[in-house]
Amino acid sequence: MGASRLWKKMLIVFVLAFALGLRLFYVLGEQYEPVEYDQKNYTTMAVQMLEKGIYGYNEAKSNTLVTPGFPVFLAAILAVFGYTDIERTFMVVRVLQVFISLGAIWYIYKIGLRLFNRTTGLIAAFFASVYGTFIVVNSLILTEVIFLTSFMALIYYQIKIVQENRTRDHLLAGLLLALAVLIRPNTLVVAPVPYVFLWFQHKKPYFKEISFGVLAFALGMLPWWIRNAITFHEIIFISKGGAGNPLLGGTDPYYRGTLDWSKIDFNNQQGEAIKRIKEGLQTDPALWIRWFTVGKMKEMFLNKLYIGDYGSSVPAWYAPWIPRFHKFLVYAGMGGSLIAFFIHKSYRYLITVFLILLGTQLMFIPEARYTIGMMPFLMLIISALLVQAVSYAVGLVRGRNKTGGGVRKDVRSETDGSKAV
């Protein structure tokens, strides 16, 4: 029995080793074109920080267009390895991201283990290890890898808050929230979730515990707030300004060219966006409601797949399975959520966070890139449902064998290490 339990615990090591091999094979074997767009802008910004001490994205002056999580990460690597041969340093970034990405898989496993059971965690971790998008992002000089790892760590400790309500977890979750927000600001929307679940469980507001989390979050954000106050003489909580407002960018239903940026008042982009949405709901409500729900979901999850040329880097027989696996996760995950929500609180926690992330993103430009933080929740839901379905089927078979065909009424799934929220 002891050897069997040890073997189960060791399986995650094999999953991580497999994930590492897939990622290194792709990253080291790929031919790279010169970076463009955001990748180029981040690189220019990092070099500017090192040479001139100016923190400015896409400008040669200080600004707060992007939060500092990824720029500081990139600048630190350039400072250590140099940037005279920038392509060589990019490879250092990519390989480092490969190892960081294993952290996301590890926390996906830990979330599955904590909410359900070890088998669920292993299946979800395996899904994450072979998912094409999660492999490709390691080659990009972008926020995705360090965001996903910090975000999965945040979700893990938020779940621990609901389950155990320890001061240490409130502090860690607060710090991880700050880290994730400094990489991707929209992460802030998930901050209240564990405290809402705590309230529903115990009917207590837990103000003291919330204050610990808020304090830790503030400490993590403090260097950014101080820098902004000194540089701009005002409190800038996250970021300010931008060439294009994402809410406004999402107000062109099905990209029919109804948004003319040349006629937009760039000093009032938010107001322009709200005005367009109001007018759209008045003139063609069906179109605009469809666009802000099903339309944007299809754009993000089905019409676009964030895998670059990964299909040409794998065997020909495997390439068609990359988009098929993605669609399986989308359809099975979202469809299964409709059932899973009514099964158990553990499912409801995952689905709640997923819906908050989805609802937030549906307000903005529907980019496949922004589904990356949502996919682990679908992987976990599918994995848990698969394990539960198999456990149920096995229980039925065993029940028939014992009772001569009778149906079992109590179905128990493996609970090794799990603690439901």
| pLDDT at residue 403, rounded to an integer | 52
Q: Domain map of the chain by residue range? A: 2-241+284-388
| pLDDT at residue 243, rounded to an integer | 54
| pLDDT at residue 410, rounded to an integer | 34
> 227-257 burial string, b = 16+ CB within 10 Å, else e?
ebeeeeeeebebbeeeeebbbbbbbbbeeee
Tokens of 218: 């503030």
| pLDDT at residue 1, rounded to an integer | 52
| pLDDT at residue 411, rounded to an integer | 34
CA–centroid distance for 274 within its chain? 27
| pLDDT at residue 406, rounded to an integer | 36
Q: How big is the CA angle at 408 (ends 407 and 409), to the nearest 5 degrees?
A: 115
| pLDDT at residue 81, rounded to an integer | 97
Cα–Cα dist 255/367, whole Å: 13
Angle, helix 86-115 to helix 375-403, in steps of 10 degrees: 40
Residue by residue, pLDDT tens for the chain (421 residues) are: 566 677 778 999 999 999 999 999 999 998 899 999 999 999 999 999 999 999 999 999 999 999 999 999 999 999 999 999 999 999 999 999 999 999 999 999 999 999 999 999 999 999 999 999 999 999 999 999 999 999 999 999 999 999 999 999 999 999 999 999 999 999 999 999 999 999 999 988 899 999 999 999 999 999 999 999 999 999 999 988 665 678 888 989 999 888 887 777 777 788 888 989 999 999 999 999 999 999 999 999 999 888 887 877 888 889 899 999 999 999 999 999 999 999 999 999 999 999 999 999 999 999 999 999 999 999 999 999 999 999 988 888 887 766 544 333 333 344 455 676 7
Query: Is residue 344 exposed (0-12), middle (13-18) or buried (19+ Cβ within 10 Å)?
Result: middle
| pLDDT at residue 308, rounded to an integer | 81
Q: Pick from 68, 58, 46, 105: which is nearest to 184 by CA?
A: 68
> pTM (2 decimals)?
0.92
| pLDDT at residue 312, rounded to an integer | 79
Q: How many CA atoms lie within 13 A of 134 on its CB side?
A: 29
Structure-token match 């059971």, residue found: 117
| pLDDT at residue 404, rounded to an integer | 47
* Rg for the chain, CA atoms, rounded: 23
| pLDDT at residue 272, rounded to an integer | 86
